[in-house]
Structure 1
Amino acid sequence: MIAVPPGRVTLSDRRTRRSWQVEVAPCLLGAFPVTQELYGAVTGEWPGATPGDRLPVEGVSWWDAVRFCNALSLRDGHTPAYRLGPDETVEWDSTADGYRLPTEAEWEHACRAGTTGPHYAPLDEIAWYRGNSGERLHEVGGKRPNAWGLYDMLGNVWDWCWDVYDAEVYGSYRVLRGGGWFDEHWSCRSSARRRSHPTYRVDDVGFRVARSAAR
C-alpha cells in the first residue's frame, strides 16, 4: 500500500462537459492492481480468461470487488468497510479501517501524482494499451510507476471505483478509471471516465484496493 497525500483534484466529464473540484483526504492505495494470486488466496476463486499469478485479476464485477475488499479486511484483522444488505444494497462505513475501493477523486489524484497533463509520463513508458500490449494482459509492475510509486494506473486493466457514475441517467452504473490493454491511447488518460453496471464482467476490468488513512 502506498501513502497518498491529501490534495485537491478537478474531475471532468466529456459527455456532459461538466467539471467539479473535490478535496481528497490522505489515504492508502495499492501499488498494483489486485493480482490473480491474491484474489485466489483470499476467495478461492480464479476468474478471468488468462491465468497467471502476477497478472491482474480480471473478469470481476464491481460486486466481486466489494466482496473481496471485505474478505481481505477480515483476513488481515481489519473492520470491513462495506455493509452488504438485501436486494444488492451496500453502505460504506467511512469509519472502518478495512480495505475498500478508491473513490474516483482519490483515484485521479493518486494517478496524477502532482501532474496536470493527460498522462503522468510518456504513455509507452507507463502503460500497456493497444499500441504496445500485443492485445493481451501483462503482469503488474512491468512499466514505470508514477512519482508516488503506483504502477499500472493507466492501461493493463480498468479499475473499478466506488462512485456511481450518474444515477439520474445510468442508475446504479459505477465508475471505471485508467484504461486497459485493448484501449486506444485516448482512453488511457488520467481524466478518462467510463461506466458499467456493477454486475458487469470483462477481460480488461480489474481493481485495486484502498484504505482510509488512520485518524
Structure 2
Amino acid sequence: FDQGGNVWEWNEAIVDQDATYAYRGLRGGSFYLISDALLASHRGPYDPTYEFNSFGFRVSEVPEPASLLLLAFGGLALMRRRKALGIAVLTPQ
C-alpha cells in the first residue's frame, strides 16, 4: 500500500523489544520530511503513546473467515449454474 507523504502511519510491528516500552513502527514519512524518509525501508520507532501532528493511522478491514467461505461457495454455485444452463465461460484466446 502507498504510505508515503501524508503522515507517518503507525503499524503493529514491534521495533525495539529490548526497550522499556514496546516501541511500534512508523512508516511512510510525513509531508514535511526529505524524500529519503519516504522509502519503504525507512521506519521510525516510537512509544505508541507518543502524539505528534504528523503521526496518523490508516483504517483497514480484514474480512472474517466466514465471509471468505461464503464468497467461495457463491462462486462455486455460480459455476455449477452456468454449467447446468450450458453457458460457456469466456476463456482467453
| TM-score (ref. length: structure 2) | 0.61
Aligned residue runs from structure 1 range 43-192, under 5 A: 110-111=1-2, 153-169=3-19, 171-192=21-42
Higher Cα Rg, which structure: 2
Count of aligned residue pairs for this structure pair:
65
Looking at structure 1, the residues matched to 12 and 38 of structure 2 have their Cα atoms a distance apart, in angstroms, of: 19
The offset of 1:212, in angstroms, is 1.7
Looking at structure 1, the residues matched to 20 and 61 of structure 2 have their Cα atoms a distance apart, in angstroms, of: 27
Looking at structure 2, the residues matched to 175 and 209 of structure 1 have their Cα atoms a distance apart, in angstroms, of: 16
> Which AA in structure 2 matches 1:154?
G
* Cα deviations by residue, 1:60-93 (Å, 9 ceiling, x for unpaired): xxxxxxxxxxxxxxxxxxxxxxxxxxxxxxxxxx
Tell me, which stretches of 5 or more residues in structure 1 are unaligned?
A: 1-109, 112-152
The offset of 1:177, in angstroms, is 0.7
Correspondence for 1:206 among 56, 66, 71: 56
Cα root mean square deviation, aligned:
1.6
The secondary structure found in structure 1 opposite 2:61 is strand
Structure ranking higher in helix proportion = 2
Q: Give the equivalent residue in structure 1 for 2:78.
A: none
